[in-house]
Amino acid sequence: MISKSWQQRLLTLPPLGYLLVLFAIPTLIMLFASFRYTGEYGGLAPWYAYKDGGLTLELTLENWQRLFETDIYLRLFVKSIGYAVFTTLLCILLGYPLALMIARSPRKHRDLLLLLVILPFWSNFLVRIYAWMILLSPNGAVTQLINSIRDVFGLAPVSLMYSASAVIICLVYVHLPFMVLPLYANLEKHSSALLDAAQDLGANRWRRFWNITWPLSLPGVYAGSILVFIPVLGMFAIPDLLGGTDGVMIANVIKQQFVESRDWPFGSVLSMVLTAAAVLVVLLGAKFGRQGGR
Amino acid sequence: MNNKNRLLIFTALAVYGFLYLPLLIVVVYSFNDSKLNAEWVGFSLKWYDKLFHNNEILSAAGNSLIIAGISALVATVLGTLAGMAMYQYRLKVLPGLVLAPIAMPDILMGVSLLLFFIMLNMSLGLISIILAHITFCIGFVALSVQARMSGIDRSLTEAARDLGANPWQCFRMITLPLLAPGILAGALMAFTLSIDDFVVTFFVAGVGSSTLPLQIYSMVKIAVTPEVNAISTLLMLLTLILITLVARLSPGALRS
């Protein structure tokens, strides 16, 4: 008979081994690469060399110093965090009514309504960006609509494509389902008895919402915010296709370092800062989530 | 009913509109007899016809299917093991490693795997893409299987053991059949994730191993053409079928 620990090893070791080799080790390699020199033709230079008959390490802190030499990168990080915060707030604003409506609709309709939120999220990411390239192009429906409204007020037409607003609109569009799902999962569990009791005691709709529904839903809001904030912070495709020079985010510079400039050590530095930011957000979210859950 | 509810329903419908109208426009213009995505000229299937005569797109589609098939298969095996282990034992490292690739921005996995493959002197191509896709698919399968495990009545496996089944028989004849919908849902999700992935693939694909999303990216970078609408529509149709299947098999799986 197979002993218990053997069974455990059989189940645990294959996925553990795979993820250690293809996730944990590559992350450590990236950390290491941030201390290496750039190769002659880009990429990475060897990290050791034989000099004067001895082995010397070819490692440096230069890449990390470069981060602070100008304020370009720090400002870009702050700007990307600003985009992520703004996108998260807009997702709460749009996602909350939707999640609440689904949670309060008859039980038999809920699964279908929820599936309707999930479906666009599973359609191809580039297709969703492409849809906004059509809508925001000079002849696109959204641009035409906004400019005809501006015309009524005697304002000059604007171009929406290749701007920060185009990036934010598309970021919200792509990440909205991430907000709705955890919000719904939370709102669905609320007991209507609480709201009924509050109503009997004379609380109006807004008081019932702000004093009961909203505080109880905070864990869902935190969970949704993490799910939106982190991918937005590391987004490069949307600013790449819709942002022009105005809408550049930190991940665009990471992509540029790895693909165009082939400065892999500095790209690794920026990636490590992004990793640290994402880990910090997860930890903060877990902490707030626990407090809000009480 | 009352005003608050009307306002709520109106806002919710507007948000549904926001989610679906852009995709609808992509689909509608794929049947438009015009080069511009601006006004409706007439119904035509010419963009689909052009698509099926475009060798680059066809070979990219072939690559995408091969990659998604193999990645989903391997990720399903590894993810099922992980999901079962995470449900049965109190583990510390594995759940973190399973969830971390889902939680981190995609670009980080893309660039770190690029560094990893180059360090191993591996040439970038189908194999590096498949290895990368397995990495981010494992977590989704594991979560789907874990969710299904928690719905299985433990007394069934205990009864089987009492009646003399060995662990393998017990797994094969009791656990596996009960687990099957969760495994299949996870496999379909992995297939969908793989066929749709752009960011990670962008970094680990070499020259000459394009996938459909990479192909769409390079087409869109140059110019917006209705041919892109046509591939997008087909890709959406495929995803729609797969995800509806997942939703049927395991309603909870998509929510995690």
Instruction: Tell me the torsion sign for CA atoms A49, B117, A257, A24.
Output: negative
Q: How far is A69 from chain B (nearest CA, A)?
A: 24
Can you tell me the mean pLDDT for A8-23?
Answer: 92
pLDDT given at position B252: 64
Query: Does the pLDDT value for residue A61 go beyond 60?
Result: yes
Total domains in chain A come to 2
Amino acid type, A224: G
Can you tell me the mean pLDDT for A64-89?
Answer: 93
A147 CA to centre of own chain? 31
In B39-98, the residues whose Cβ lies within 8 Å of chain A are 39, 77-79, 81-82, 84-85, 88-89, 91, 93-94, 97-98
- Under the banding of pLDDT at 50, 70 and 90, the label for residue A238 is very high
Q: Which strand (E) or helix (H) includes residue B31?
A: none
Verify that A168 and A45 share a domain, yes or no. no
List CB contacts (< 8 A) between B22 and chain A.
128, 131-132, 134-135, 173
List CB contacts (< 8 A) between A100 and chain B.
8, 12
Q: How far is B155 from chain A (nearest CA, A)?
A: 18
- Interface touch B16/A255, C-beta < 8 Å: no
A269, A194 Cβ separation under 8 angstroms: no
Verify that A45 and A74 share a domain, yes or no. no
Lowest mean pLDDT among A198-207, A229-238, B2-11: B2-11
In B119-158, the residues whose Cβ lies within 8 Å of chain A are 119, 131-132, 134-135, 138, 142
* B182-200 pLDDT, tens digit each: 899 889 889 989 998 999 9
- Tell me if A1 is assigned to some domain: no
Q: Which segment, A67-71, A229-233, A245-249, is predicted with the most confidence on average?
A: A229-233
Verify that A81 and A30 share a domain, yes or no. no
- Tell me if A9 is assigned to some domain: no
pLDDT given at position A1: 46
Amino acid type, B150: S
CA distance B221 to B59: 20
Mutate which of A20, A21, A22 to test chain B, going by most B C-beta atoms within 10 A? A22
- Tell me if A285 is assigned to some domain: yes
Name the residue with higher pLDDT: B64 or B169. B64
Query: Could you tell me the two tokens for A162?
Result: 């290749």
The neighbouring-strand residues paired with A38 are A44
CB contact A278 to B (< 8 Å): yes
The interface predicted TM-score (ipTM) is: 0.87
* B104-131 pLDDT, tens digit each: 899 999 999 999 999 898 889 999 999 9
In B198-237, the residues whose Cβ lies within 8 Å of chain A are 198-199, 203, 213, 216-217, 220-221, 224, 228-229, 232, 235-236
CA distance A214 to A25: 42
Q: In 3D, which of A86, A114, A120 has the Cα closest to residue A101?
A: A114
Verify that A168 and A35 share a domain, yes or no. no
Q: In 3D, which of B187, B189, B193, B186 has the Cα closest to residue B243?
A: B189
CB contact A204 to B (< 8 Å): no
Domain range for A40: 14-60
Q: In 3D, which of B170, B181, B169, B178 has the Cα closest to residue B251?
A: B181
* A117-154 pLDDT, tens digit each: 888 888 888 889 989 988 888 877 788 888 888 888 88
> Nearest residue on chain A to B111, judged by CA atoms?
A258
Verify that A182 and A216 share a domain, yes or no. yes
What residues contact A63, with CB distance under 8 A and at least 6 apart? A34, A35, A265, A266, A268, A269
Across the A/B interface, how many CB contacts are shorter than 8 Å? 247
- A226-258 burial, b at 16+ Cβ within 10 Å, e below that, comes to bbbbbbbbbbbbbbbbbbbeebbbbbbbbbbbb
Name the residue with higher pLDDT: B210 or B252. B210
Verify that A156 and A261 share a domain, yes or no. yes
pLDDT given at position A292: 52
- Interface touch A97/B11, C-beta < 8 Å: yes
Query: Could you tell me the two tokens for B157?
Result: 């496996």
CA distance A167 to A242: 6
Q: How far is B64 from chain A (nearest CA, A)?
A: 13
pLDDT given at position A110: 87
Length of chain A in terms of residues written: 294
pLDDT given at position A109: 86
CA distance B75 to B135: 8
Mutate which of A122, A180, A212 to test chain B, going by most B C-beta atoms within 10 A? A122
Verify that A214 and A189 share a domain, yes or no. yes
B112, A26 Cβ separation under 8 angstroms: yes
Verify that A33 and A100 share a domain, yes or no. no
CA distance A91 to A172: 6
According to DSSP, residue A210 is labeled: I
- Interface touch A234/B108, C-beta < 8 Å: yes
CB contact A46 to B (< 8 Å): no
List CB contacts (< 8 A) between B225 and chain A.
none
Query: Does the pLDDT value for residue A170 go beyond 60?
Result: yes
- Tell me if A2 is assigned to some domain: no
Verify that A173 and A196 share a domain, yes or no. yes
CB contact A19 to B (< 8 Å): yes
- Tell me if A43 is assigned to some domain: yes
Q: In 3D, which of B240, B255, B253, B256 has the Cα closest to residue B23?
A: B240
List CB contacts (< 8 A) between A115 and chain B.
244, 247, 254
CA distances from A234 to A171, A275, A276, B1 (A): 11, 9, 12, 43
Query: Does the pLDDT value for residue A249 go beyond 90?
Result: yes
- Interface touch A234/B78, C-beta < 8 Å: no
Can you tell me the mean pLDDT for A105-110?
Answer: 86
**Domain ranges across chain B:** 45-255
What residues contact A135, with CB distance under 8 A and at least 6 apart? A141, A142, A143, B22, B25
Q: Hey, what CATH topology would domain B45-255 get?
A: MetI-like fold (1.10.3720)
Share of chain B above pLDDT 90, in %: 36
Verify that A190 and A257 share a domain, yes or no. yes
Instruction: Tell me the torsion sign for CA atoms B28, A141, A127, B240.
Output: negative
Query: In this structure, what CATH number is given to the domain that contains residue A222?
Result: 1.10.3720.10
- Tell me if A184 is assigned to some domain: yes
Mutate which of A134, A233, A238, A280 to test chain B, going by most B C-beta atoms within 10 A? A134
- Tell me if A248 is assigned to some domain: yes
pLDDT given at position A291: 63
> Nearest residue on chain B to A121, judged by CA atoms?
B19
According to DSSP, residue B34 is labeled: S
